Amino acid sequence: MQTKKCQVLVIGAGPGGYVSAIRASQLGLKTIIVEADRAGGTCLIRGCIPSKALIHAAHTFHNLAQHSSGDGHMGISIPGPAELNMSDLIGWKEGIVDRLNKGVEHLLKTSGAELVTGWAEFQDAKTVKVGEGKDAIIIQADNVILANGSVPIELPFMKYGNNVISSREALQLQEKPDHVVVIGGGYIGLELGITYRMLGSEVTVIEAMDSVLPIFDKELRRPLERHLKKSKIKVHLGVFAKGVEDQKDGKTKVNFIDKNEKDESKMQSVIADKVLVTVGRKPNSECLAPTGVALDERGFVKVNQRCETNMRGVYAIGDVTNLGEMLAHVASFQGEMVAEIIAGKKREYDPVAVPAIVFTEPEIVSVGLSPDEAKAAGHPIIIGKFPLAANGRSLTQEAEKTGGFVRVVAREDDHRVLGIQGVGTHISELVGEWTLALEMGALLEDIAGTIHAHPTMTEMTHEAVLATLGHAIHSA
């Protein structure tokens, strides 16, 4: 049995793990990273990247359908309906994933980090065994970074299998389902539900809360809710999914009931080809018992602002921790930070702003405080908005059809920007400027005094700031 020793051992090659391994190697630390599947993790292999590829393809297919109906669209007509080959679409998506996977492996290799493929079985907090028998490898480390990630939550009365699928299987379907029932109206369910609707599937959403995407305020949700209605996506709010029944024709019946209803004779049902369960994710921490690291009641690894666990020299980052949102960019940030901490640099996780994006149609973006959050925190606020319909670049891309806008929240007394939100097609591409503005403590005047290129959608940030100051140029 081979034994390897290193200064840094990273468990998991997702967006947190591979970034930490590369940075640790750059800093001169002997680093080994262990991954059971493929480098890139959930985000690259079966999450963020493949879902965005499908979303883009769905938009393309939907747009082609417009050109092939009636007199066409934008003066462009196609003499026949667009056709979808689902297996070819999945193959195109896999090509993107493969390219990025190889890119991550190349980056790890050129940085000097060693990638070991296999399941890491902990012997103690700083020792793992990878593989079985004579081919097994024992790895001992001075420091360990846990980047285990997360997995979809499975409902006990709706186990995965047959037609009941998670987001992972939804990104691999070789045939387009006629009807998809989505359990959960959060960002994953709505992103994939809208995607399949644009590809031609009938879609029904079952959500226990009284609104979809309840983490956002009504004003931000309204354009999305209008799009769901216009797209004929059926949304059942305030109802509990109660289980599924396989049908003789190969389909599945989904039972649900109003959350306040006690009489089960009032149970409702809908027949589906696929039942997509998207009720959240949980930390992949069940394998950590031999390490002695402390977990909270939900199974997240407890860490401090430096991502240190209760075990000396053992760190945890990303989805597996109780620090920060379950977002790929949070994991990457923490991964780089921890590598630098191990190398002796002074760092801690204390961001001013973490951007949140939902890639629905329209997209929703939020950075910093919403108006309600700012008021609750005791800030005296002023608010400015600018509609996509008044922006030239948005009009040329037909982004204004969603009824979207950019909204700026700032303190009334000193004009410090507290938060920026937006909803609309392509709106996610503006988030970098917004996050930077908050992180640097920008005032409204800082953004107002910055020249924004024309014609671009970034002009909307400038105009929304001017509206907050009371003198917008291109809106009444």
Please state, as a whole number, how many other Cβ atoms lie within 10 Å of the Cβ of residue 84: 15
8 A C-beta contact, residue 391 and residue 459: yes
8 A C-beta contact, residue 78 and residue 64: yes
Q: Give whole-number Cα distances, 213 to 188, 208, 269, in Å.
A: 10, 11, 23
Paired sense of beta strands 314-316 and 239-246, if any: unpaired
Closest listed residue to residue 305, CA positions, set 295, 313, 293, 317 = 317
356's CB contacts (< 8 A; 6+ apart) are 215, 325, 327, 365, 366, 367
8 A C-beta contact, residue 457 and residue 399: yes
8 A C-beta contact, residue 35 and residue 17: yes
8 A C-beta contact, residue 320 and residue 150: yes
8 A C-beta contact, residue 200 and residue 89: no
Residues written for the chain = 476
8 A C-beta contact, residue 365 and residue 430: yes
**Alpha carbon 66 to chain centroid distance?**
29
Beta-ladder partners of 141: 6
Q: From the candidates 73, 454, 462, 471, which is the catalytic residue?
A: 454
The verdict on whether omega for the bond into residue 362 sits within 30 degrees of 0, i.e. cis, is: yes
SS3 track for 198-251: HCCCEEEEEECCCCCCCCCCHHHHHHHHHHHHHCCCEEEECEEEEEEEECCCCC
> Does residue 454 have an active-site annotation?
yes
8 A C-beta contact, residue 194 and residue 231: yes
What's the start-to-end Cα distance of the chain, in Å? Answer: 74
* 3-class DSSP assignment, residue 420: strand
29's CB contacts (< 8 A; 6+ apart) are 7, 8, 339, 342, 343
CA 454, 460, 462, 463 torsion-angle sign: positive
Q: Give the catalytic positions in this structure.
A: 454
